[in-house]
Structure 1
Amino acid sequence: MIITGDDSEYIAFVKARLRDQFLMTDLGPLRYFLGIEVSSTSDGFYISQEKYIQDLLARAALGDERTVETPMELNVKLQPTDGDPLPDPTRYRHLVGSLVYLAVTRPDISYLVHILSQFVSAPTTVHYSHLLRVLRYLRGTITRRLLFPRSSSLQLQCYSDATWASDPSDRRSLSAYCVFLGGSLIAWKTKKQTSVSRSSVDVELRAMALLTAEVTWLRWLLEDFGVSITTPTLVLSDITCAISVARDPVKHELTNHIGVDAF
Structure 2
Amino acid sequence: MFSLWPQTGPRAWFERFASVVTAAGFSPSSHDPVLFVHTSPHGRTLLLLYVDYMIITGDDPEYIAFVKARLRDQFLMTDLGPLRYFLGIEVSSTFDGFYISQEKYMQDLLARTALGDERTIETPMELNVKLQPTDGDPLSDLTHYRHLVRSLVYLAVTCLDISYPVHILSQFVSAPTTVHYSHLLRVLRYLRGTITRRLFFPRSSSLQLQCYSDATWASDPSDRRSLSAYCVFLGGSLIAWKTKKQTTISRSSVEAELHAMALLTAEVTWLWW
TM-score by length of 1: 0.82
Q: Partners in 2 of 1:203 and 1:133 — Cα distance?
A: 28
Q: Partners in 2 of 1:120 and 1:11 — Cα distance?
A: 46
Equivalent residue for 2:11?
A: none
Equivalent residue for 1:74?
A: 127
1:190 match: secondary structure:
strand
Q: Partners in 2 of 1:15 and 1:87 — Cα distance?
A: 53
Q: Partners in 2 of 1:29 and 1:150 — Cα distance?
A: 17
Q: Partners in 1 of 2:154 and 2:71 — Cα distance?
A: 29
Deviation at 1:14, TM superposition (A): 2.2
Deviation at 1:19, TM superposition (A): 2.3
Deviation at 1:17, TM superposition (A): 2.5
Match among 263, 270, 273 for residue 210 of structure 1: 263
Moved over 4 A (4+): none
Q: Partners in 2 of 1:123 and 1:17 — Cα distance?
A: 53
Deviation at 1:16, TM superposition (A): 2.1
Task: For residues 152-197 of structure 1, give each alpha carbon's deviation from its aligned partner in whole angstroms, at most 9, with x where no partner exists.
Answer: 1111000110000000110000000000010000000000000001
Q: Partners in 1 of 2:189 and 2:66 — Cα distance?
A: 47
Deviation at 1:9, TM superposition (A): 1.7
Deviation at 1:142, TM superposition (A): 0.1
Deviation at 1:201, TM superposition (A): 0.4
Deviation at 1:28, TM superposition (A): 1.0
Equivalent residue for 1:228?
A: none
Deviation at 1:4, TM superposition (A): 1.5
Q: Partners in 2 of 1:83 and 1:4 — Cα distance?
A: 51
Structure 2: where are the runs of 5+ without partners?
A: 1-53
Deviation at 1:52, TM superposition (A): 0.5
Deviation at 1:22, TM superposition (A): 2.8
Q: Partners in 2 of 1:80 and 1:14 — Cα distance?
A: 55
Of 21-30 and 115-124, deviating more is 21-30
Equivalent residue for 2:116?
A: 63
Deviation at 1:68, TM superposition (A): 0.5
RMSD: 2.2
1:82 match: secondary structure:
coil
Structure 1: where are the runs of 5+ without partners?
A: 221-262
Q: Partners in 2 of 1:34 and 1:5 — Cα distance?
A: 21
Query: How many residues were matched structurally?
Result: 220
Q: Partners in 1 of 2:132 and 2:77 — Cα distance?
A: 50
Task: For residues 19-75 of structure 1, give each alpha carbon's deviation from its aligned partner in whole angstroms, at most 9, with x where no partner exists.
Answer: 233322211111111110011111210000000100010111111111000001111
Identity rate, percent:
91
Deviation at 1:94, TM superposition (A): 0.4
Task: For residues 66-123 of structure 1, give each alpha carbon's deviation from its aligned partner in whole angstroms, at most 9, with x where no partner exists.
Answer: 1000001111111111101111100000010011111000100011110011011111
TM-score by length of 2: 0.79
